A = this chain, B = another copy of it.
């Protein structure tokens, strides 16, 4: 089994590394970081680069596609190199997945039309404009399409999909090895739980970021 994790300029690192560290532990799977060109790809902060070990053309038929999100996604919503690769890979994939605003790229490629899906909480309205049906869930399965909410939700998605592919016990073993027993020091991880003024502040800012 080949798992392809897509990189592009200004992606969010944890969107990619969450699924890599969980889903990537399917027994005997090959996980490959893929981008338009091989070489280092910078994250949204500019302070980190992950290596793309393969170019899109070298990975035509991955079994699993993972598309992370990040502010760099907006520049790619009409990027035919990426969108064509996503469409072609999806034709033979077993699972096509995303984290955060990565679902907007899947939607822009026409892969989420009419499907239940999710995205970063600030991008749910936009996801609907691109033809998907946003849900409030953290991880959404619709057939072979699996989308996760913002950034850290890729860990939950990775474990859930690992369970489907490799069985519950293997997924539990990976949860134990990664000691994923979360104890956030605050309870502000969703717009329903965070202080209202923070939510409002980001919604105001996002009008500039997301449009």
Contacts and interface: CB of A to CB of B under 8 A. Distances in A.
Interface residues of A, number: 64
Interface in A162-200: 163, 168-169, 171-173, 175-186, 188-191, 193-195, 198-199
Given A40-B40, A47-B33, A51-B51, A194 B176 contact: yes
B138 A178 contact: no
Contact of A190 (B48, B179, B198): B179
Nearest to A163: B185
Nearest to A17: B17
Interface stretch (A78-86, A102-110, A125-133, A144-152): A144-152
A61 interface: no
28 contacts: A12-B21, A14-B17, A14-B18, A17-B17, A24-B47, A31-B45, A31-B47, A32-B47, A48-B51, A49-B53, A138-B183, A139-B183, A150-B178, A155-B182, A159-B184, A159-B186, A163-B186, A169-B198, A171-B186, A172-B186, A173-B201, A175-B184, A175-B194, A176-B190, A176-B198, A179-B189, A180-B182, A181-B184
